[in-house]
Chain A
Amino acid sequence: MSRSGMRDLGRLSAVALLAGALVAGCGSGGEEAQEPGGVTTLSLWHFYGPPESATGGALVRFLQRYEQAHPGVKVEPRHIPFGDFNRTILQSAAGGELPDIALIGATSTQAMAEAGIIEDLSDRVAKWGKQDAYLPSIWQTTQVGGKTYALPHVADTYAVYYNTELLDEAGVKPPKTWDEMAETARKLTSGDRQGLAVSGVEGEEGATALVIRILAAGGDVTKIDSPAANKALTQFKQLVDSGAMSKGIIGWNEEDVKNQFANGRAAMMINSATYVSTLRKENPDLKWKIALLPGDTRQVTFLAAENLAITSGSSHPDAAWDLMTWMQDPKALAEYLPDRNKLATRDDVPADGDEARSVFAEQLKSAWAPSGALAEHSSEVFTHVQGALQAAISGSATVDQALAEAQQKIDKTLAE
């Protein structure tokens, strides 16, 4: 563009801005503030990743499809890294700078609702009437004190990834019970290869595998000084002592676990559906499949989900609601979910026929998520659960001591 052209453009935009300000001034009597040209701009904050990343890109493309179908609306997504997300939302709430829509971790829903950061959507949901399509454990994460504060966005859950070549070599099949799991993991262990890898890293992330194991034994995460939790932790300890699980799990996050599996150092891993497409892309030669988690007295998995909420600072709640319901349309989801590599939260989304993802979808039906007092303090309680795992595995405490000590901390947390 020539220099004079630039100057003209500058002048033009100045005039447009002035006109826009006038229009906005005149139209301030309405409920929903409209921007120049009748375009509503919706801001949406998320932690999926920058637009150029696989996960962030999928969301951006999804939102662009909405914009194409709705010329009067512009959606401005903003990525905030996961570690900073809740803090940024809080600071923005204190400063009155909230976005229209926040894509939040399902476990944060209760805390944000109680802090008055997100809006009660009960009336809108009643009119909408689609709540029965959702898996109950997922819908429950949107409920706070009998009211609905969010719509589910996507779900993810944990299942067993297994290396088919290594299992065939050892002549074993994916285990159906936790006893079989221990047996199979031992058979698959040789040299510097471990049978099973899970994440046991410091903090709540590292509690997932043990939580799954405790639930399978029929235990309760808030009562871990119990026979069921004792059975679960004792088995993990034995797996580590026998070398079937590495002592390194205490330092591994889920990404590290994926890497152990990807380079053949772990024959099986418990991990989320997030890594299905990553493994296909980064390790095309690796042969693997997904199996349902083993059961014990019951078979349960851990729900990782995200919810969409309208914030108390939104100036376009109606437009935000329209976007959120569009994002939950089964047809729109059928296109988005494989791109985003996540699972549907409702039962009326057409399946995409992918084998690995269909096992995850099946697994999701037995997903468990914290509720009530545990939901409010889940981050801290899971941190204590991981503390018990760490103490027992490193040998700084016996299984009994580790569980008793964690129980004290959990009781203190829940008493607040």
Chain B
Amino acid sequence: MIARRSTGAATATGRPPNRRRVPLTAYLFVLPAVVFLAATVLYPLVFNIDLSFRDAGLRQIVTGDADFVGLDNYAEELANPDFRSALAISLIYTVLSVGVSFACGLGLAVFLNKTFPGRNLMRSLLLIAWVLPTVVSANIWRWILDGTYGLLNTVLGGLGLLDKGVFWLVEPTSALISVVTATVWSTAPFAMILLLAGLQSIPETLYEAARIDGAGPWQRFSRITVPMLRPVSMTVLLLLFVTTFKTFDTIYLMTRGGPGDATTILPIHAYLEAFQFFRFGTGAAATTVMLLIPLALSLFYFRSLRREEAS
């Protein structure tokens, strides 16, 4: 801390004469990026938040004269059982997906961190799941899980585990498990790649020293790998949470949020409100809530990151 403060003081006193000019050109250089971000990120964001405080139906969207109604849309959504159910399902879906995806990703990373023949091929194959467009993967899953001609039923039937076709996407519980599985299938390789990079940055000498001290494989994993991977793990968990929480396409293509509202997550609820039923105000309120949750998590993450750096 002391060292950092002293370098700060040095630059403050020894300010070069042309220091004022440098930031100006620097600002000019970043200006296009700032304008671009303001137009494509900031403006829609502010527009959406503004809309969430207005009574905006179809006509108001066209004429642009929606009345300000304060927190009415939020109150309406919070009282709406569909919204509460969507929020709960979103959280269940995200926590399940992130948890399983992280565990699978970590397992695969530890496995692929060892050298064995065919390692690179396997790593590339795993990444295909992540690279594959959602439209393709979601439809493949739909086909695998179909009750009449699905691959899963055929395989389970062939093994003698099933005697009657199961409609995986028609039962509420199995539909939720199915969309979690499809999500994990595509996000686990992403977690694997980041965790693998983290693993490779752990110095081999630590393991050697532990081995000499008589630590077994489990101790080496829990006492060295896990703590050394902590920063990377935090990043991976946050990224997984943010991307999973805003998932729309996988679930919409597989179940459209059904059966009933078993897989109607917050993004699907917001989409239906705004673009199916034309209630833009409450739709915008739902998306604002959708924005707040990952935002709160990110703030928590950056805070803990700063604390870690400080110590």
From the candidates B59, B142, B276, name the one contacting A115 in the complex (CB within 8 A). Answer: B59
Interface residues of B in 48-92 (CB under 8 A from A): 57-59, 61-64
Q: How far is B58's CA from A202's CA once the two chains are assembled, in angstroms? A: 24
Interface residues of A in 79-115 (CB under 8 A from B): 86-87, 90, 93-94, 111-112, 114-115
A29-37, A243-251, A293-301 - the one binding chain B:
A243-251
Cβ contact within 8 Å between A115 and B170: no
Query: In the complex, what distance in Å separates the CA atom of A80 from the CA atom of B149?
Result: 32
- The distance from the CB of A99 to the nearest CB of chain B, in whole angstroms, is 15
B62–A247 CB distance below 8 A: no
Cβ of B165: which chain A residues have Cβ within 8 Å of it?
Answer: 192
Binding site of B, secondary structure by majority: helix, strand, loop or mixed?
A: loop
Cross-chain contact of A202 among B61, B62, B257 (Cβ < 8 A): B257
A203: interface (CB < 8 Å)? yes
Neighbouring A residues of B257 by C-beta, 8 Å: 202
Is B255 on the interface with A (CB-CB < 8 A)?
A: yes
User: Which of A90, A202, A383, A396 is the most central at the interface, judged by chain B CB atoms within 10 Å of its CB?
Assistant: A202
Query: Shortest CB–CB separation between residue B130 and chain A, in angstroms?
Result: 25
| CB <8 Å contact, A201 and B256 | yes
Q: Which residues of A contact B256 (CB under 8 A)?
A: 201-203
Interchain CB contact under 8 A, A247 and B167: yes
Whether B43 is near chain A, meaning CB under 8 Å from some CB there, is no
**A185-219 contact mask (Cβ, 8 Å, vs B): 1 or 0:** 00000001000000001110000000000000000
Query: Does B198 reach chain A (CB closer than 8 Å)?
Result: no
Which DSSP category, helix, strand, loop or mixed, fits chain A's interface? helix
A94–B58 Cα distance when bound, in Å, is: 10
**Are B276 and A394 touching (Cβ within 8 A)?**
no
Question: Which of B148, B259, B276 is within 8 Å of A250, CB to CB?
Answer: B259
Verify A111–B259 contact, CB threshold 8 A. no
User: Do the beta carbons of B61 and A94 come within 8 Å of each other?
Assistant: yes
Cβ contact of B276, chosen from A247, A379, A390, cutoff 8 A: A379
Distance in angstroms between the alpha carbons of A164 and B82 in the assembled complex: 45
Tell me the bound Cα distance from A391 to B172 in angstroms: 10
What's the least CB distance linking A133 to chain B, in Å? Answer: 31
User: A248 contacts which chain B residues (CB < 8 A)?
Assistant: 146-148, 167, 170
Residue of B nearest to A259 (CB): B149
Interface residue count for B (Cβ, 8 Å)? 29
A-chain residues with CB within 8 Å of residue B36 when the two chains form the complex: none
- Nearest chain A CB to B94 CB, angstrom units: 21
The answer for the CA separation of A393 and B256 in the assembled complex, in Å, is: 17
A117 CB-CB contact with B under 8 Å: yes
* Distance of A200 Cα from B172 Cα, bound (Å): 15
Contact: A116 with B260, CB < 8 Å? no
Given known contacts A114-B59, A115-B58, A202-B256, is B278 in contact with A247 (CB within 8 Å)? Answer: no
Shortest CB-to-CB span from A17 to chain B, Å, is 29
Nearest chain A residue, comparing its CB with the CB of B276? A379
Task: Confirm or deny: B277 has a beta carbon within 8 angstroms of a beta carbon on chain A.
Answer: yes
Chain A positions within 8 Å of B302 at CB level: none
Whether the Cβ atoms of B148 and A260 lie closer than 8 Å is yes
Query: Is residue B275 within 8 Å, beta carbon to beta carbon, of the partner chain?
Result: yes
CB distance from B282 to the nearest CB of A (A): 11
Q: Give min CB distance, A76 to chain B, whole Å.
A: 23
**Is B169 positioned at the interface, with any CB of A under 8 Å from its CB?**
yes
B107 on the A face (CB < 8 A): no
Contact (A201, B258) CB under 8 Å given A248-B148, A248-B167: yes
B171 lies within 8 A of chain A by Cβ: yes
Chain B residue contacts of A115, Cβ below 8 A: 57-59, 61-62
- Cβ contacts B152-171/A at 8 Å (1 or 0 each): 00000000000001010111
Bound complex: CA A125 to CA B61 (Å): 29
Contact B170 A394 (CB under 8 A): yes
28 CB < 8 A contacts A-B = A90-B61, A94-B61, A94-B64, A111-B58, A115-B59, A115-B62, A201-B256, A201-B258, A202-B255, A246-B147, A248-B148, A248-B167, A248-B170, A251-B142, A251-B147, A251-B169, A251-B255, A251-B259, A265-B148, A377-B277, A379-B276, A379-B277, A383-B276, A387-B260, A391-B260, A394-B171, A394-B260, A396-B259
Other CB < 8 Å A-B pairs besides A115-B62, A203-B256, A248-B148, 15 of them? A93-B62, A115-B59, A192-B148, A192-B165, A202-B255, A202-B256, A247-B167, A250-B167, A251-B146, A251-B167, A251-B169, A251-B258, A265-B148, A394-B171, A394-B260
